[in-house]
Structure 1
């Protein structure tokens, strides 16, 4: 089943986005100049992201990292806020007694408690975010802290790939790990510049990957025009964050 953005939401998106782009044009030019003066590379950063109905589209942002940032993900993966390496798996090759306490995995038989622990760790690792990320430039830290780096996504909204309010579009390596039925509903909602998770938990360093996904699911189930207006009203305060994440 293909989910569609309601007509009133789409009209609202186009109207507000067009006005904002005209107002913000001078700021766009200043930020572009600052980025180019500090580091070589393109002003805009384009990354494939997954939105509503699992559609993939080019996601626009002001570049806030050095040019080789993507190549350093594996190097920094253990420092991810949402989880690092999992503990050694405790598989069993034989068993006796109650088989209801065992689960079957690709690598053999596993005690159910260990299986559940490993499943939880996999969920946590599906989001990658590093505190005080060394890949971020000085200008990048400022535009991230003020959320200015997100402004080019207004172009995505005009193109119909995103909405002003929705769930964050995910990088491919994160989206492909969301396979559980309880989380898949997040893709029923449009990708958004701001959303329920951003206005409630953004900047907190103790938010789990599970909590974030469940809030995405909650928005997908409860979304309405009034709910969107409430999120937009809360967004300016949430945009200024103190954590370097």
Structure 2
């Protein structure tokens, strides 16, 4: 993880002992805070215009005086060959970046090649990343998380203390609920196992923070070996581009579970409506894969239908069991609006907001439980 509080100190220290002079403008080498802020602004512009954006990254040992001097010369060359619209700055101590505006992957490689002809024996390993193509490639591979360089395209809103407090709340509440609900979970596992063949727990690969694959646990609510293509087609219609003439209809489609499809078992319909099927996700919370509150973790194949601006909901923060869009919309919302609410949560994340979301989520669960006690038939028929 790159820190965002590194300042333009190493080059300033070397400036006093530069024996060869040079025309590098220190004021043009931005601090990490300013550089990353600029990078995120350019990323948002790229999302709006759908234009390419690349980042070149160079590392050096900031504790080695020889490498500091070499890095100073590297910075001079970067300032000389960059275009006026490009930006040079620190990503972290020992890491320099260049924002290459309106530059695709091939253009970024040409930048590295042009730089290599000027280094005169200096050896620096430069890497380039292009938004959003490299990120989509990594996410769709389903193997690795996005690299730190790729993830810094997105804002990191949580400070260290807030992250610690959020983690403590996750552990305390998840542990408490698991203890209190242990009898209910045992009864649910027995009911699921007795009413349909297959394991009581359904495990599915999702994408966590920075696109890291995680295995999410739920009580199985569908028949074993249910056809995944039904959900895949459902997702494609909700997220993907609508066919010609269907744009208006597609805009009105809301992000809802396929609660009425034939794959769901009778007991599965009940536990889904009561949200009991999600209780095993609390083990994911204790493990650190999920938080109690955060954006919904997507299935890897969903990302194939994403637009660039959708990526922030899965790269900026850890996903959660419940979230801002669920309690604000009741789950009845278009995918684009869901992403907008997730991004609104990311921008305004706080412990107080998490507690409000948890309170409202608990209220919804209690109301559903009361409704089930009053009219259990409505849940079995799927009308609740």
Shared fold, TM over 0.5: yes
CA contact (8 A) 1:77 1:84 kept: no
Residue in 2 aligned with 1:214?
Answer: 340
Normalising by structure 2, we get a TM-score of 0.49
Shift of 1:125: 9.0
SS at match of 1:232: helix
Match of 1:60 among 207, 217, 223: 217
Shift of 1:178: 2.2
CA contact (8 A) 1:43 1:62 kept: yes
Residue in 2 aligned with 1:185?
Answer: 312
Q: 53-62 or 235-244: which moved more?
A: 235-244
Q: 166-175 or 141-150: which moved more?
A: 166-175
> 1:199-240, CA deviations, whole angstroms, 9 ceiling, x for partnerless residues?
112253xx2111111111111111100000010110023343
Match of 1:40 among 197, 211, 214: 197
Unaligned stretches of 5+ residues in structure 1? 90-113
Matched, 1:16 2:16: no
CA contact (8 A) 1:78 1:85 kept: no
**Cα RMSD for the two superposed structures:** 3.3
Residue in 1 aligned with 2:287?
Answer: 159
CA contact (8 A) 1:83 1:124 kept: no
SS at match of 1:57: strand
Shift of 1:130: 2.8
1:53-132 pair list within 5 angstroms: 53-73=210-230, 77=233, 82=238, 86-88=242-244, 129-132=257-260
SS at match of 1:86: coil
Closer, same or farther: CA 125–62 of 1 in aligned 2, 3 Å: same
Shift of 1:20: 1.4
CA contact (8 A) 1:80 1:128 kept: no
CA contact (8 A) 1:185 1:217 kept: yes
- Cα distance in 2, alignment partners of residues 170 and 78 from structure 1: 14
Closer, same or farther: CA 43–131 of 1 in aligned 2, 3 Å: closer
Matched, 1:174 2:302: yes
Shift of 1:145: 0.4
CA contact (8 A) 2:259 2:269 kept: no
> 1:82-137, CA deviations, whole angstroms, 9 ceiling, x for partnerless residues?
37883249xxxxxxxxxxxxxxxxxxxxxxxx9xx59x96x999968435121101
Match of 1:233 among 351, 354, 359: 359
Shift of 1:65: 0.4
CA contact (8 A) 1:83 1:125 kept: no
CA contact (8 A) 1:127 1:174 kept: no
Shift of 1:11: 1.1
Normalising by structure 1, we get a TM-score of 0.75
Unaligned stretches of 5+ residues in structure 2? 1-147, 372-378
- Cα distance in 2, alignment partners of residues 202 and 80 from structure 1: 21
Closer, same or farther: CA 233–51 of 1 in aligned 2, 3 Å: same
CA contact (8 A) 1:165 1:193 kept: yes
Residue in 1 aligned with 2:206?
Answer: 49
How many pairs were matched up? 213
- Cα distance in 2, alignment partners of residues 33 and 25 from structure 1: 12
Larger-Rg structure: 2
- Cα distance in 2, alignment partners of residues 69 and 149 from structure 1: 17
Matched, 1:25 2:152: no
